[in-house]
Amino acid sequence: MPLFFALSGYLFHIKAGGDKAFFKRTLRSLIIPWLSLTIIPLLVAIPIKGMDYIMDSIIKVVTGEMFWFMPCFIIANIIFYYIIKLTRNRQLPIVLCILAFSAIGYILRRKHILDLCMINMAMMVQFYFLIGHLYKKYEKRLQGYFKQTGIVLLLCYIAIGVIFFPESKTDVHNAFFHNLPICTLMTTIGVTGLFMLSSTISNYPKWLLTVGINSLVIYMFDTYLEIPVTLFYHFNDQLYIITFFATIIYTAYSSTMSIIMAKFINKFFPWATGHRG
Same domain as 194, residue 133: no
Same domain as 113, residue 11: yes
% of the chain residues with pLDDT over 70: 96
Whether the model pTM is above 0.85 = yes
- The pLDDT value recorded for residue 207 is 82
| Average pLDDT of the chain to the nearest whole number | 89
Same domain as 50, residue 132: yes
Same domain as 99, residue 22: yes
Cα separations (Å) of 156 from 62, 150, 172, 187, 271?
39, 10, 21, 11, 42
Same domain as 120, residue 29: yes
Same domain as 213, residue 186: no
Between 96 and 216, residue with greater pLDDT: 96
Same domain as 64, residue 190: no
Same domain as 264, residue 167: no
Same domain as 169, residue 228: no
DSSP code of 15? P
Same domain as 227, residue 129: no
Give CA–CA dist 55/62, Å, rounded.
11
Give CA–CA dist 66/180, Å, rounded.
26
Give the chain's count of helices (H) and strands (E): 14, 2
Between 196 and 244, residue with greater pLDDT: 196
- The pLDDT value recorded for residue 141 is 86
Q: Residue 86: is its pLDDT beyond 90? A: yes
Give CA–CA dist 98/164, Å, rounded.
27
Same domain as 83, residue 170: no
**Mean pLDDT within 22-49:** 87
The amino acid sitting at 224 is Y
Buried b (16+ CB within 10 A) or exposed e, 156-176: ebeebbeebeeebebebeebe
Q: Which range has highest mean pLDDT (151-155, 177-181, 260-264)?
A: 151-155
Rounded to 5 degrees, what are φ and ψ at 76?
Answer: -60, -40
Overall domain count for the chain: 3
Q: Are 134 and 126 in contact (CB under 8 A)?
A: no
CB atoms near residue 212 (< 10 Å): 11
Q: Are 158 and 98 in contact (CB under 8 A)?
A: no
Which range marks the domain in which residue 228 is found? 206-273
